């Protein structure tokens, strides 16, 4: 029995129709690092798994609910990993591709947009918008239990405290709980790109009871402990 709302068939059809456009960067990276035949094999496998996981993808209340944006940002990555895994590749093989795509996308954002986004993130409006979105899914079994707060010290500007993560739940629902090991790589990329001064000492994906991220304008974003080895591997992978 379903206990939460999932994507409508109309939304699923639209996403499948746009698959080639959505997957384009992955396909180009696969050709770059492997060959065209293997790239085509993974593309077909990704589409197969994409079609399988879209019907179980949650759809949270609200047209601009941040939960939908976050989950939708993971659907292709999950399907891509499942295709790579079936082809005998490792989790790191798949995540290295996903990481490079996300890293390049953020690094290509114009400086003026980075400035606008950073100022928005450090505003009261951002905290209000985030909490409004997450409150709408606090009773949804597929969602988050999380709160964004302004810090009461001079060490941080704001932080969030999360006891249940919708991304981890989604990975589990898709049968790939191992991806949780790298669940915070996009947070690190965004922390660097927007100058958030991110610190992520606790992470549910690493087995902690809670996930906490602390932000401070002007501070250097730290590499989370669970990503340290991976980031070194990524730098070698790019060369």
- pTM assigned to the model: 0.93
**How is the beta sheet containing 199-202 ordered, strand by strand?**
145-150, 158-164, 211-215, 199-202
Query: What ranges make up the beta strands (E) of the chain?
Result: 145-150, 158-164, 199-202, 211-215
The pLDDT tens digits of the residues spanning 31-61 come to: 999 999 999 999 999 999 999 999 999 999 8
Q: What is residue 1's predicted lDDT score, i.e. its pLDDT? A: 34
Site of tokens 């009871």: 209
CA distance 73 to 94: 15
Print pLDDT tens along the chain (239 aa): 345 689 999 999 999 999 999 999 999 999 999 999 999 999 999 999 999 999 999 999 877 789 999 999 999 999 999 999 999 999 999 999 999 999 999 999 999 999 999 999 999 999 999 999 998 888 899 999 999 999 988 899 999 999 999 999 999 999 999 999 999 999 999 999 999 999 999 999 999 999 999 999 999 999 999 999 999 988 888 76
Question: At a CB cut-off of 8 Å and minimum separation 6, what does 175 contact?
Answer: 82
Tell me the C-alpha distance between 219 and 203, whole Å.
20
Handedness of CA 213, 218, 219, 224 (dihedral sign): positive
Tell me the per-residue pLDDT of 158-177, one tens digit each, with 9 for 90 and over: 999 999 999 999 999 999 99
Question: How far apart are the C-alpha atoms of 106 and 158, rounded to whole Å?
Answer: 22
45/85 Cα distance (integer angstroms): 10
Query: Residue 129 is inside which H or E element, if any?
Result: helix 124-135
Give per-residue pLDDT as tens, 182-198.
Answer: 999 999 999 999 999 99
Place of tokens 């891509």: 80
224-229 contacts, C-beta under 8 A, 24 or more apart: 224/184, 224/187, 224/188, 224/200, 226/181, 226/182, 226/184, 227/182, 227/184, 227/185, 227/188
Number of other CB atoms surrounding residue 4 within 10 Å: 15
DSSP letter assigned to residue 6 = B
* Residue 198 contacts residue 215 (beta carbons within 8 Å): yes
In the prediction, which pLDDT does 2 show? 43
Predicted local confidence at residue 238, as pLDDT: 76
Q: Indicate the domain borders of the chain.
A: 9-238
d(CA 62, CA 132): 10
Two tokens, residue 229:
């080895």
28 neighbors 105 (Cβ within 8 angstroms): no
Q: Tokens 């790239």 label which residue? A: 39
Strand 158-164 relative to strand 145-150, pairing = antiparallel
Strand partners, 70: none
């Amino acid at each position: 029995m379903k206990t939460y709302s999932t994507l409508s068939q109309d939304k699923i059809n639209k996403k499948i129709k746009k698959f080639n456009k959505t997957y384009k960067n992955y396909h180009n990276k696969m050709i770059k690092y492997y060959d065209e035949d293997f790239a085509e094999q993974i593309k077909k496998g990704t589409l197969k798994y994409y079609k399988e996981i879209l019907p179980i993808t949650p759809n949270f209340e609200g047209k601009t609910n941040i939960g939908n944006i976050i989950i939708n940002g993971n659907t292709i990555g999950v399907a891509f990993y499942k295709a790579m895994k079936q082809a005998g590749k490792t989790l790191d093989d798949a995540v290295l591709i996903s990481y490079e795509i996300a890293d390049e996308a953020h690094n290509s954002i114009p400086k003026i947009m980075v400035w606008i986004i950073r100022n928005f993130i450090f505003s009261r409006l951002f905290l209000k918008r985030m909490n409004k979105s997450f409150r709408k899914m606090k009773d949804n079994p597929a969602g988050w239990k999380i709160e964004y707060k302004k810090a009461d010290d001079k060490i941080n500007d704001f932080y969030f405290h999360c006891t249940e993560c919708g991304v981890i739940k989604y990975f589990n629902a898709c049968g790939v709980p191992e991806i949780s090991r790298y669940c915070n790589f996009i947070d690190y990329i965004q922390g660097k790109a927007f100058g958030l001064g991110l610190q992520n000492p606790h992470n549910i994906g690493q087995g902690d009871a809670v996930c906490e991220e602390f932000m401070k304008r002007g501070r250097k974003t730290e590499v989370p402990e669970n990503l340290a080895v991976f980031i070194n591997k990524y730098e070698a992978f790019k060369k």
